[in-house]
């Protein structure tokens, strides 16, 4: 019966949590200005939307309280290369999804 117990968890919600928007980057879409506040690696073995072949994905949180989930290796490698070029994670990027498995990412 121990396994039937429901485990609950609570956390405090701040004013900054009230306005979160989720960004998308489908084919033909772009994000002209992505000001990165932080990037988190989210590990969850049972999630369906992880990066291919691994048990994690990346979540990018922006300075204006928006969230972009990165679960494409091609997009992630382009983002990582742009951030390495910038020399820091807290950078501003322009992202475009130009076609199937084609992304354009640059530091602005």
pLDDT given for residue 9 in this prediction: 81
Q: Which two tokens stand for residue 57?
A: 């994905």
For the segment 31-43, the average pLDDT, to the nearest whole number, is 96
pLDDT given for residue 79 in this prediction: 98
* pLDDT over 90 percentage in the chain: 73
pLDDT of 25 over the 60 cut: yes
pLDDT of 60 over the 80 cut: yes
The answer to whether the pTM exceeds 0.85 is no
Exposure pattern of 87-99 as b/e (b: 16+ CB <10 Å)? eeeebebebbbee
pLDDT given for residue 45 in this prediction: 87
DSSP annotation of 90 reads S
């Amino acid at each position: 019966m121990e396994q039937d117990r429901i485990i609950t968890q609570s956390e405090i919600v701040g004013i900054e949590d009230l306005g979160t928007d989720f960004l998308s980057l489908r084919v033909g879409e772009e994000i002209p200005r992505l000001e990165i506040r932080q990037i988190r690696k989210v590990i969850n073995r049972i999630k369906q939307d992880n990066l291919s072949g691994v048990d994690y994905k990346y979540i990018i949180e922006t300075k204006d309280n928006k969230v972009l989930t990165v679960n494409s290796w091609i997009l992630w490698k382009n983002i990582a290369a742009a951030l390495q070029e910038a020399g820091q994670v807290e950078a501003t990027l322009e992202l475009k999804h130009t076609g199937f498995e084609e992304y354009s990412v640059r530091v602005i």
